[in-house]
Amino acid sequence: MHEAATSAARFPHPDAAVQDLYSAGITACRGAFAPQWADLMREDIDTAFTEARGREGGVVGRGPHRYYAEIHPEQLRGFVGLVDHPWVRGVCEAVLGEDYRIVELGFDIPLAGAVDQPWHRDFPMPDATRQHRRLTSLAFNLTAVDTRDDMGPFEIAPGTQWDDDARFGHAMFPPREDHPRYAALAERRYPRRGDISARSALTIHRGTANRSPDPRPVLVLGVDAPGAGNDAQHDMAVTREYWASLPGRVRAHLHCPVVRELTPVVQKHAIEGLVMGDA
């Protein structure tokens, strides 16, 4: 659970991921972990979700019956194995540079009854992307279930990470008259336990309606290039004991407070336009 794969040979080469991310805006590594690894991840997500829903500020809404919560690395038993996975490391270095920074660890849970989200990106386009066509952040996603069509699969509109339109609400939400274009481009994703995807959070996307009785938990790992600035939205920390136990090449990329004792995360990364769903 805690160890990364020892060889990158059987995983896609990072150059292929770079090409995917700069063209489609999303890429994937199938079978990065055994399904049992994802099952333990699911246990940790369920534990954290139960705790977070029981206190004020523990979760934020991302639409009706859909929640997001950030957690501390110590709450995920597989954290080191994830961030030290050769494909994850390789993609981060190839896209963001050798000094990439791990800034976010959390999960998104569409419960039964979750509705279609509006098309959106996760934050406004930074100047480095607008002016120099350079990606400065990545979102890695790992499903905790084998995704079915009735569970509200993730939809993404490939190539739209470059869309730059002054009509975007809050610089994140395309105008409603453009929604048919995104719907025409949309691809649904059906990851299975053990798969990892990586995407630019600028690529226009949405969660779809969960018409099943089952939740669809997804882990989120956010990584920045130096200076990207998304760390201001997040509050993860590690204890001194945990920090001392980490491999040096993990500590080099984990820029967060090292504390005597963890305190529960009060969520900061609310996206107001998602609260009502695609109303």
pLDDT single digits (tens) 11-31:
999 999 999 999 999 999 999
Evaluate if residue 4 carries a pLDDT over 50. no
Amino acid 231: pLDDT: 79
Closest to 110 in 3D by CA, of 205, 209, 201:
209
Tens of pLDDT along 117-126?
Answer: 999 999 999 9
- Cβ proximity of 143 and 195 under 8 Å: yes
* Mean pLDDT calculated for residue range 253-278: 79
Q: Using alpha carbons only, what angle is made at residue 24 by residues 20 and 26, rounded to the nearest 5 degrees?
A: 65
Closest to 140 in 3D by CA, of 49, 223, 241, 21:
223
Task: Tell me the CB-side half-sphere exposure of residue 233, using CA atoms within 13 A.
Answer: 19
Any idea what DSSP says for residue 60? E
State how far the Cα of 88 lies from the Cα of 37, in Å rounded to an integer: 16
pTM for the predicted model, two decimal places: 0.94
All structural domains of the chain with their residue ranges: 17-269
Question: The domain 17-269 belongs to what CATH superfamily?
Answer: q2cbj1_9rhob like domain (2.60.120.620)
Written in H, E and C, the secondary structure of 82-101 is: HHCCHHHHHHHHHHHCCCCE
In this structure, the number of other CB atoms found within 10 A of the CB of residue 196 comes to: 24
Tens of pLDDT along 24-52?
Answer: 999 999 999 999 999 999 999 999 999 99
Higher-pLDDT residue of 99 and 279 is 99
Evaluate if residue 274 carries a pLDDT over 90. no
State how far the Cα of 34 lies from the Cα of 100, in Å rounded to an integer: 26
Listed in sequence order, the residues at least 6 apart from 101 whose beta carbon sits closer than 8 Å to its beta carbon are 223, 224, 225, 226, 228, 231, 253, 254, 255
Evaluate if residue 2 carries a pLDDT over 50. no
Question: Mean of the per-residue pLDDT values for the chain?
Answer: 93
* Mean pLDDT calculated for residue range 55-84: 95
Evaluate if residue 232 carries a pLDDT over 90. no
Tens of pLDDT along 131-183?
Answer: 999 999 999 999 999 999 999 999 999 999 999 999 999 999 999 999 999 99
State how far the Cα of 79 lies from the Cα of 74, in Å rounded to an integer: 7
Q: For a pLDDT cut of 90, what percent of the chain falls above it?
A: 87
- Cβ proximity of 107 and 49 under 8 Å: yes
